[in-house]
Structures are given as C-alpha cells and as structure tokens.
Structure 1
Amino acid sequence: MRRRRYTSDLTRQQFKRIEALLPACKAGGRPRKVEMYEVVCAILYVLQNGCTWRNLPHDFPAWQTVYGYFRRFQRDGTWEAVNRFLLRRTRKKAGRNPEPSAGILDAQTVRCTPQAGLRGVDAGKKTNGRKRHIVVDTLGLLLVVFVTAGSVQDRVGAPILLGSLAKRFPQLRYIWADGGYSGELVAWAKQVLSWVVEIVKGVAGQRGFVVLPRRWVVERTLAWFTRSRRLTRDYEGLPETTEAWFYLANIRLMLRRLEPAP
C-alpha cells in the first residue's frame, strides 16, 4: 500500500533528475532493499518540518536508515555535487550561461539550540550562535556555503569561502558584497583570485529596510532557506551538517524549477 504524499515530497519526475547522481551500493555489500526515493523524501521531510530523526513518520523507512544515508552523502560530498549539477541545468533552463561569472556574498547569524556544538557571539547582531557565509549567483541559487561560529567576522570567513568557490566555479570573476566586507578582502580577491569585489553601500541617511541593488538577491535566498524549519536555528552538532542542509534546500528549490509539480 502506497503512503499518502507529504507536501515536502519530491515528485517522481523530480527524483529522476537526481537518481543517477546518488552513489550506488558498495561493492560486495548486501543488495539495497530500501527505495531511495523514500529515503530522499524522508530527508526532505526533516528539512521542511524540523523534526528529530527519531520522530520521522512510520510510513518512511526506519530513521536509522534515513539518517545513515544523509550522513554518508554528506561526508562523501554527494549533496554538494548534486547541487552543482542541478545549478548548471537550472541556469541553462533560465537562459543563462551554465557557468556563473558573478555572485553575491553575504552572511547570516542564527541562534544555536542547547545541544549544538561550535558557537560564538556576533557582536554586531548581539547573537550567540553560528554564522552561515554564502555566495549565490544572480538568480539567487546557492553556489557555496561555509558555516562558522557567530564570532567570526564576515571579512575573516570570506577568503576561505571565496577560495573554495574559485575551485568549483572557475569562470567567476565578479562578486558583490555589503560594507562588512570592505577593506583588505577587496585587495586580496584582486591580487590572489583576479576577482573584482564590489561593495554595495547603503543609502545615505537610510532608516529601516531599503532594497539595495544586488544585495537583495542573496537576502531573498536566505529568506527562502529559513522557510525550512531545520534552518530557522542551528540544531546541528557539526557545522558541516548545516552546510549539507543548505545544499539540500537549494536542491529542492532547483528541482521544483526544473520539474514543476502538476
């Protein structure tokens, strides 16, 4: 008997887009008995609803199995690889060059739950938690994410993030960022990466929220992702786990663009 569909589920057509990208069974191991479609839907259920693994509905595979696949694909880089693959397909469908040449950089600080590990106080936001440093393309699609303690300044985390970005997207040449990244980062990016980092400054006398050129794109992406309850706070013991959830949130977003649900 087939289970009833959850709103977090992928359609079968959406799953076909990534099925071949998921690693096969280990050589010499037991045949895989679980259906990978159900495993991926269960992982997205946790992402969307923010529940603990042990509280997965019983019509999904056993939570230990689902969690095991999530961790395995996190450690071997599968989620990030699927994100890069779909990114190129989504950009091509939107009439863009599959390889991005420009991006927008920003960071978001969120509170940690009591069990989360690494943390620090963001003095500017007066928040004790973690900071998510991200770069998105001009469509708002996630290119790369790097999670640190909240006490790490934006301009300190940015060189690590941009260095990782340069390896994955060699055609990138231009980055927009806010005033928190001004100073040495601009010169470093020019000298080391041959990139232009343009600082988008706020409007003089600005009070309250104002939509700023280019910066609104990355802020919109962060808003998209925090609609997933697993990302409203940081529940994870390891920063790498939070990064995996970011890639999964972006994967789901791109699949819905590539294969809209009927």
Structure 2
Amino acid sequence: MRIFHLNINAPNRTAFVNEGKHNQSDISRQQFDLIRQDLEASRKRTHPKHIDPYDIFCAMLYVLKNGCTWRDLPADYPKWSTIYYYWMSWSKVPTPDKPALLTQVFKKIVADRRLRQGRSARTSFVILDAQSIKNTATAENKGYDGGKKISGIKRHLAVDITDRDGAIALVTLNLEQFKLVRTMMVDSGYTGQNFANEISSLTSAKVIVVKRNELHQFSVIPQRWLIERSFSWLENYHRLWRNCERELNTSLMMVSLAFIRLLLKRY
C-alpha cells in the first residue's frame, strides 16, 4: 500500500512513500537496489529530488505493463509529469558515443547475470531475428513488411543470440557490442552469401542459417528457441503490443525497460 506524508526536509512538499508492493508490475525494493546507484547518479541533473527513484521506476513499469499513457498513471504514484521528466532523462541518448542511462543499466545487469553463471561478461555467439510490429496513429516512423503485409516497424533482437538490411544496420550501429562475436545464428530469412560476407567484414563472425523442417510445422529448434521466447516475453507488456511511440529511440528504451524488469525479477 502506498501512502503520502509531509516531508519535514522540504516544507510544503509531499513525499512519496511505498510500503510493500502495490501493483503487479512493481519489482521489490531489494531488486531495485541492484540498479538504484546507477539511476541515482543522474539525480544531480533531475528534479525534484525528494521523490524516491524506486517509485519513479515502478511507475514506468506500470506504463509499460499496462499500456496506459503517462497521464493515466494511478494517483498512488508520483505526479505523471514528474515520472515523464525522469523517463526523458533516463532514456535520452546524451551523445552519439554514450548510450542512454537505461541502456547502461541493462548492459550492466546482463554482464552481472553472465558472470554469476560463470560465463564471460561479453558474448561470442548471438542469435539474430526480427519481429514486425504494427503502428498506432501516434507513431511517426514506419515501414512495410512485404512478407507479412504489415505496416509499422521491425524490432531486431540479437540474443546470446525477412530483413537483411535491418540486421546489417543493427550490427553497424552496435559494432562495439558485436566486437567479440564469432558466430551469428539466423533463420532462413537471412539466407544469402552477400549477407554472410557483410557480417563477416563488420564483425569477423560466421553466419549459420537454421531452417525449419520441410513440412513448415512448428517445432522447437535448439538454440533458435532462445530468440523466439525473447519475443514472446515482450508480448507480456501491453505497451509493446503495437508501436505507439513517436520516436524510435523511445520504442527501443521501452524494450530495454522490459528486459531490465525481466532480469531483475530473476534475482
């Protein structure tokens, strides 16, 4: 249950206190403590400072999970404009060579999980695939998937890890993350020697194409299922059912937020 009380250190202001989990989308305070220090590092540039970042983060998760607009946040969260202010701060890309704060947090959690499993913090094997998502009226960026007859955007995921141009763009824009990759597994939509050569020239990785059986019946293909289940996890968040963001970076940050929550729930 959330309650409000007067903050004695800030006269005439209301502080927000969270006692226990209130909504299904929330994470625990113990889980949030894993990323608290990283998010609080930006507080010197954000206001107001009297609001607990845990409540701000949970409010963002509510928007993501339930698909509501920022203005429709329940009253037991801090004011929606405050939540949106922090969202813009945490999701903004400050410079071309520095990722957004949420991206930094996501990478740190992934590295920590890999180290806990006795693996290297950086991967040398990825599985790459794309998912076509329809746009809503508010989205400003869109394309067209001729194969699936869908007008909207494509989400490309590279998971420890058809649209070859999009995959090349994904790798090109994230060369540092693919620096140590030696094997890239893809489905038949990425078949072609030109694609393999392009990937090899960018990352020195070998492309492996995995095809489904001749009957085109669904079956779990070892390793390929890792990327398929990642897309299915995103479908648990109503905000991601369609692309309703004006900016592509906002769509990217919503996906990052979903995976941050997914990983934190495993602690």
Tell me which amino acid in the other structure corresponds to 1:69: Y
Q: Aligned partners of 2:47, 2:111: CA distance in 1, in Å? A: 34
Q: What secondary structure is seen at the aligned counterpart in 2 of 1:121?
A: strand
CA 30–130 in structure 1, closer or farther in 2 if over 3 Å, else same: closer
Higher relative contact order (CA 8 A, sep 6+): 1
Tell me which amino acid in the other structure corresponds to 1:127: I
Deviations 1:193-250 (A, max 9, x none): 211111111212x233222232211011000011111111111111111100111111
Runs of 4+ in 1 over 6 A off after TM superposition: none
Q: Aligned partners of 1:122, 1:159: CA distance in 2, in Å? A: 17
CA 239–30 in structure 1, closer or farther in 2 if over 3 Å, else same: closer
Partner of 1:100: 123
Equivalent residue for 1:68, pick from 85, 106, 123: 85
Matched, 1:220 2:229: yes
Q: Percent identity?
A: 37
Contact 2:114 2:120 in 1 (8 A): yes
Q: How does 1:97-136 map to 2 (within 5 A)?
A: 97-136=120-159
Kindly tell me the number of residue pairs found equivalent between the two proteins: 242
Q: Aligned partners of 2:24, 2:62: CA distance in 1, in Å? A: 8
TM-score for the superposition, normalised by structure 1 = 0.87
Q: Displacement, 1:25?
A: 2.7
Equivalent residue for 1:240, pick from 226, 238, 249: 249
CA 207–30 in structure 1, closer or farther in 2 if over 3 Å, else same: closer
Q: Displacement, 1:94?
A: 2.6
Q: Any unmatched runs of 5+ in structure 2?
A: 4-17, 94-99
Q: What secondary structure is seen at the aligned counterpart in 1 of 2:38?
A: coil
Partner of 2:13: none
Q: Aligned partners of 1:69, 1:30: CA distance in 2, in Å? A: 8
Matched, 1:39 2:68: no
Q: Aligned partners of 2:181, 2:149: CA distance in 1, in Å? A: 33
Q: Aligned partners of 1:126, 1:72: CA distance in 2, in Å? A: 36
Contact 2:171 2:178 in 1 (8 A): no
Q: Aligned partners of 2:90, 2:203: CA distance in 1, in Å? A: 30
Q: Any unmatched runs of 5+ in structure 1?
A: 139-152
Q: Aligned partners of 1:30, 1:185: CA distance in 2, in Å? A: 47
Contact 2:172 2:202 in 1 (8 A): no
Q: Aligned partners of 1:6, 1:94: CA distance in 2, in Å? A: 30
Please provide the CA RMSD for this pair. Answer: 1.7
Q: Which has the larger radius of gyration?
A: 2
CA 31–107 in structure 1, closer or farther in 2 if over 3 Å, else same: closer
Partner of 1:162: 171
Q: Displacement, 1:96?
A: 2.3
Q: Displacement, 1:31?
A: 6.0
Q: Aligned partners of 1:50, 1:26: CA distance in 2, in Å? A: 30
